[in-house]
Amino acid sequence: MSKAQASAEAECWRAQAAARYDELLTRHPEAYADHAEEFWLTVGGDPERALRLARQNLMLRPTPADPRAVRRAMCQFA
């Protein structure tokens, strides 16, 4: 498999994951905000969206990890 083919395949999988996270967040935002935040901060490539989700998760169900997630997203977004 060439590098271009691998890149195209990776983009296909990333797009499918993004679409699925959108569906899950629509149905169950409280359950998937933290998972989606991690996705968008990393392979999803949207730190602004990750920051919104991290803040949302912090408001929905604060845990000791949530403030760290918000700070990490803020560093990526800035």
Distance CA 30, CA 34 (A): 8
Q: Global pTM? A: 0.76
Q: What is the pLDDT of residue 9?
A: 92
How remote is the C-alpha of 27 from its chain's centroid?
Answer: 16
Per-residue pLDDT of the chain (78 residues; tens, 9 = 90+): 898 888 889 999 999 999 999 999 999 988 898 899 999 999 999 999 998 998 888 888 776 666 777 777 778 766
Question: CB–CB of 25/36 below 8 Å?
Answer: yes
